[in-house]
Amino acid sequence: MKKKFLVVILLLAVIAGAAGIFAVRDIAGSSSPGQQVSVEIPMGSGANAIAKILKDNGIIESELLFKIYTKLNPPRSLQYGQFTLDSNMSYSRIIETLSTVRSKRATVTVTFPEGFTLMQFAQRMENNGLCTAREFIKVANNGDFSQFEFWSRIKEHEHKFMKGEGYLYPDTYEFYADDDVYNMVEKIYANFDSKITDEMYRRMDEIGMSLDEVVTLASFVQEEAGHEEDQPYVAACLRNRLEPGSPLPRLECNVCSHINEEGNYVYDYIVAYYGSVENVPRGMMDAYNTYSINGLPPGPIANPGISAIKNTLWPAEDFEGYYYFVTDLTGKYYYAKTFEEHLKNIEKAYRVNRTLD
């Protein structure tokens, strides 16, 4: 019994010693240079929020330890803004850096509406003097954003137009005017990543859809539903079309098809990007023609808002068997289960439209 007691005491001493070594190492840092990391501290951030940011960016190992340290060594005034820190910095050096009053950097506020495409994001960034559209497109598609959960879930496809399409979260952002393009794109992607919760990932598993498929379908919901209140029903119709055994296994949406009219993703963006139909990579236009392909195209056709994504995951209930919808010029939606009913709804919409001429 005495021997067992001594073993327990010895184990506790070893654990305490290891914890002490870890704490000392994290607090003291290292004299050798580590990885340079750019972190942004939002205005009004307290020690708790800052500790999380530092931990998430690999600057410190323990949020709790850092919070205890700042309690025992209260900083005079932690600043907000963007800072370059070293992963081997000591706590005291980190606090000193974050307490340094910096000259105010010029910022530019930019708003991106729901349903904007990647190319529209890029052009708006250029219009605001933050970078060129070409630079934004290159970084958004080819940069390494593996720090985000969603990035590894984007499916590769030989005919996918742009990898980043669908994942630029529509919102209002404040960018530093002199910042690196990567940091600007990272801020937008970080917003998207924060919006997709564990519950939403679980729901994807339940319904047998990948993130890429959900965002792709949500981009159609965003484009086809004129108002947020219509999204659950439009999403239900489109989801029904994708179900096994569906009598209409194609989306057949004019916004992404062979129909060359304003608002068509294929011609407004794919063809425009490559300069002409002849320059578009072989097979890409067909892959995005929702009138000829079963199921979804290779990727999203816009960047949907969170409501379109949620309504795609949880569409209207008791809407089984509905495959068709049409709208009149007042914005009213008519839904149908059969093509015959759909034709009648088209006539209803046409009669309403005639009264508006």
| Domains of the chain by residue range | 20-98, 107-195, 209-319, 323-357
Residue 97 burial by Cβ neighbours in a 10 Å radius (0-12, 13-18, 19+): middle
Q: What is the pLDDT of residue 321?
A: 94
For 81-91, b/e burial (b = at least 16 CB within 10 A) is bebebbbebeb
Those residues with Cβ within 8 angstroms of residue 73's Cβ, 6 or more apart along the chain or in another chain: 91, 92, 95
Please answer whether residues 179 and 186 qualify as being in contact, where contact means their C-beta atoms are separated by less than 8 angstroms.
no
Cβ neighbours of 316 (radius 10 Å): 18
Q: In whole angstroms, give the CA distance from residue 252 to residue 236.
A: 15
Q: How far is CA 167 from the centre of its chain?
A: 4
Kindly report the pTM of this predicted structure.
0.75
Q: What is the pLDDT of residue 7?
A: 43
Rg of the chain taking only CA atoms, in angstroms: 26
Q: Could you tell me the CA-to-CA distances from 100 to 39, 43, 265 in Å, in that order?
A: 14, 14, 48
User: Over the chain (357 residues), what is each successive 10-residue block's mean pLDDT?
Assistant: 48 51 71 81 80 91 88 79 85 85 80 97 98 97 94 94 97 92 94 96 97 98 93 97 94 93 94 96 96 96 97 95 93 94 94 87
Q: Does domain 20-98 bear CATH number 1.10.3720.10? A: no
Q: What is the pLDDT of residue 214?
A: 98
Give the torsion through C-alpha atoms of 324, 327, 333, 336, to 10 deg.
Answer: -20
